[in-house]
Amino acid sequence: MAGSGTAALRRRDDILLTVEHLVVEFPVGRGARVRAVSDVTFDVARGETLGLVGESGCGKSTTARAIMHAPRPTSGRVVFDGRDLGRLGNEELRRVRPEMQMIFQDPISSLNPRRRIVDIVREGLDIWGRTEGADRRVAEILRDVGIDPETAGRRRPHEFSGGQCQRISIARALALEPKLLICDEPVSALDVSVQAQILNLLEDLKAAHHLTMLFIAHDLAVVKNISDRVAVMYLGKLCEVGPADDLYARPAHPYTAALLEAVPEPDPDVPVPETALAGDLPSPLAPPSGCRFRTRCPRAEERCALEEPQLRPLLTGDGGGPDAEHVVACHFPLVPAAEPAGGGAEPVDTAAP
Amino acid sequence: MTTTEPSSALLQVRDLRTTFDTPRGTVVAVDGVSLDVDRGETVGIVGESGSGKTVLSRSALGLVTARHATVTGSVRLEGEELVGRGPKEMREIWGVRAAMVFQDPMTALNATMRVGDQITESLRHHLDMGRREARATAVALLRSVGIPEPERRIRAYPHQLSGGMRQRVTIAIALACGPRLLVADEPTTALDVTVQKQILDLLDHQRRERAMGMVLITHDLGVVAGRTDRVAVMYAGRIVEHGPTRALFHERRHHYTDGLLRCIPRLSNPGHTRLQVVPGRPPDLVDLPPGCPFAPRCPAAQDRCREETPTLTDVGGGHQHACFFPVGTPEGEEALARNRSQDGTNRTTEVAV
């Protein structure tokens, strides 16, 4: 998996966020650098929810932070609402940031334990001088997320459960009326019953506040529930991007298929599949050559070690042409795909092992 | 199950009650639980955070030793009473006859010891093995839990291993002295789905190979569906429903079990499916009011539920539930319909998490 290339970009005029050739490196001592995100390209249209899935360490959260430019990525372009964030100075960037807000996995540690709920939610408004009517706005947004401002507003985070703290984090993020909400594993620390409440809340708020969302999670069922499109990441690269229902119905990348197979079905009549994806994520310090997934891939051949697959569109199910909405980076995809750019539209022989 | 009194049960828990004295009053964390685990079978314990599932397992194995805690009732392991034993006497039980695998492998392991020494420690202490024999056994154990290059890994420190590898090491430690009973407390909650499947497969394989009894504690009904023979659902320190896994999923009687199953996002649902929620949150376990503890959140609750506490009743086939108006029965449907028609007149707002 390796997916580089720009095939995941769509030609539409309602794109809010475009990420092109994003690379994030971190120094790891002795002059060595690790590439946490390696040439990732995708876009998110206005009002759309893009789900980003992958195992721990695949670069999901790093991608999210690089989009926020916190810190700035090593290279690549992030265009948000028509502005290339890389070209903005620090002060200009600061002015853009209220339009992109983030909520995190651990709701309790992301709230300042010493401050009252109303102050936490109000802080952004104060910083940006939107003090007129701020009290009313804070009360309104707290009510929107299901927290009663009268009884709860003057309390502090430790008096709330994890689910309530996540609601408060969401209120804080929405107080500044952002265009883009980035949710980094927002429900993985919560009980299933609470998780359902938060997912429903996010759907409601998305409609009411005209939000565009980037939703990061490792739970594929959760991602399917909330996303319009899903991008699957592996070791710093994209392997497959597509409309949620289509990607789950006909996963083209062996990694996507393996992830789907590993999800336990809450039904005792569905037998646990025999095969399991063997091994661990390889070290990103020395990623495998060619396709990065080949060391764990059941379909890997020699070509996968030599040549990095590029993202390319699948062929539509009805035998038509390439489907630009659903792209995969694999030499031997599970679903016929168009030849990489430059080649014809001949499907790859999927019968090959 | 409480119906049969098999002297043959590996673990026999009777009316176990664990309370903690706190400045706010007495917390009844486990309230009269009875449960059997046979050799070679897996029993799942499911519930939300704070339902008492972890305290139950720890009380059963004598791991609740705080001075402000009281454990009463009876726990028999292979016929031998464990309640009332001090830590010194429990040392012959821990590791040798009953072992535990915890949620977070990093905190369960000693960060300053090589993993090999953490395995040989108990081998040398309990089984009087010599240094060389213990080392050879440790290598074999690591190999049996699927750790590649065990001769080399035996010298590794926990931080040098991935999360999945660490959990394999804690399983190797738990299995070292050949326990008859293995209690796994959320063994995969901190892990990715792919690794979760590997670890659950491993536990299942070891249980069969060693004919161990296993208790699998989790909040994820997907995990218990394909992996357990029987399931007990806990709420507010009590077992509210208990039965063979298939019966529990297909003929569930308690509204809490029903709610838990309904709020799980499923891969088979189309995107943006509205999730059903269990409104509200678990009760405060200090001064639990009379009546069914689930009544305030129950869609079928009637006056009787708020006055009388239902006890576990058998409906045949080892399936028990504690509900006056069970799911799928005429009384239950009637109660639901009655509450629904009332909701129409005085709309109750969705209670925050």
Residue A259 has pLDDT above 50, yes or no: yes
Q: How confident is the model at residue A341 (pLDDT cuts 50, 70, 90)?
A: low
Contact B22, B29 (CB under 8 A): no
Confidence at A108, pLDDT banded by 50, 70, 90? confident
Decide if A132 is inside a domain: no
DSSP letters spanning A156-190: -GGGS-HHHHHHHHHHHHHTT--SEEEEESTTTTS
A195 with B263: Cβ contact below 8 A: yes
Closest by CA to B338, choosing from B291, B305, B310, is B305
pLDDT of residue A273: 85
Residue A158 belongs to some domain of the structure: no
* Cβ neighbours, 10 Å, residue A13: 6
B348 touches A: beta carbon within 8 Å: no
Residue A73 is predicted with a pLDDT of 96
What is the average per-residue pLDDT within A178-207? 93
Quote the longest CA-to-CA distance of chain A: 66
The model carries a pTM of: 0.88
Rounded Cα distance, A251 and A238, in Å = 14
Mean pLDDT of A11-34: 92
Q: State yes or no: pLDDT of B154 exceeds 90.
A: yes
Within-domain flag for A39: yes
Residue B34 Cα, gap to closest chain A Cα (Å): 24
Q: What is the pLDDT of residues B54-72, one digit of tens each?
A: 999 999 999 998 889 999 9
Q: What value does the mean pLDDT take over residues B117-134?
A: 94
Q: Which residues contact B209 (CB under 8 A, 6 or more apart)?
A: none
Contact B352 A146 (CB under 8 A): yes
Predicted confidence (pLDDT) at residue A264 exceeds the cutoff of 60: yes
- B272 neighbourhood in chain A, CB within 8 Å: 203, 225-226
> CB-based contact (8 Å) between A24 and chain B?
no
The verdict on residue A64 lying in a domain is yes
Q: Is residue A172 part of a domain?
A: no
Q: What ipTM does this complex have?
A: 0.83
Task: Provide the 3-class DSSP secondary structure of residue B41.
Answer: coil
pLDDT value of residue B3:
45
Confidence of residue A56 (pLDDT cuts 50, 70, 90): confident
A164 and B353 within 8 Å at the Cβ level: the answer is yes
Residue A195 belongs to a domain:
no
Q: Do the strands A180-184 and A212-216 form a parallel or antiparallel pair, or are they unpaired? A: parallel
Q: Average of pLDDT values for B166-172?
A: 94
Tokens standing for residue A218: 């490792």
Residue A321 sits in which domain range?
A: 1-81+228-266+278-353
B149 at A interface, C-beta within 8 A: no
Answer yes or no: is A32 within a domain. Answer: yes
Q: Does B349 have pLDDT greater than 60? A: no
Q: Is A311 helix (H, G, I), strand (E, B) or coil?
A: coil
Q: Of B226, B165, B315, B245, which Cα lies nearest the Cα of A278?
A: B165
The CATH number of whichever domain residue A352 belongs to comes to 3.40.50.300
The answer to whether B24 contacts chain A (CB < 8 Å) is no
**Residue B345 pLDDT:** 52
Residue A94 pLDDT > 60: yes
Q: What is the pLDDT confidence band of residue B7, given thresholds at 50, 70 and 90?
A: low
Residue-wise pLDDT for B295-343, tens only, equals 999 999 999 999 999 999 999 999 999 999 999 999 999 999 999 988 7
B352 touches chain A (CB under 8 A): yes
What's the pLDDT score for residue A349? 42
Q: Please tell me the least confidently modeled range out of A126-135, A204-213, B188-197.
A: B188-197
- pLDDT exceeds 70 at position A67: yes
Give the model's confidence band at A36: pLDDT under 50 very low, under 70 low, under 90 confident, else very high.
Answer: very high
CB A98 within 8 A of CB A181: no
Section B185-200 average pLDDT = 88
How many domains is chain A partitioned into structurally?
A: 1
| Residue A183 contacts residue A214 (beta carbons within 8 Å) | yes
CB atoms within 10 A of CB B87: 10
Answer whether residue A171 is part of any domain. no
Mean local confidence (pLDDT), B237-242: 97
Chain B stretch 42-71, residues whose beta carbon is closer than 8 A to a beta carbon of chain A: 48-49
Give the pLDDT mean for B78-86.
92
For residue B352, pLDDT beyond 60: no
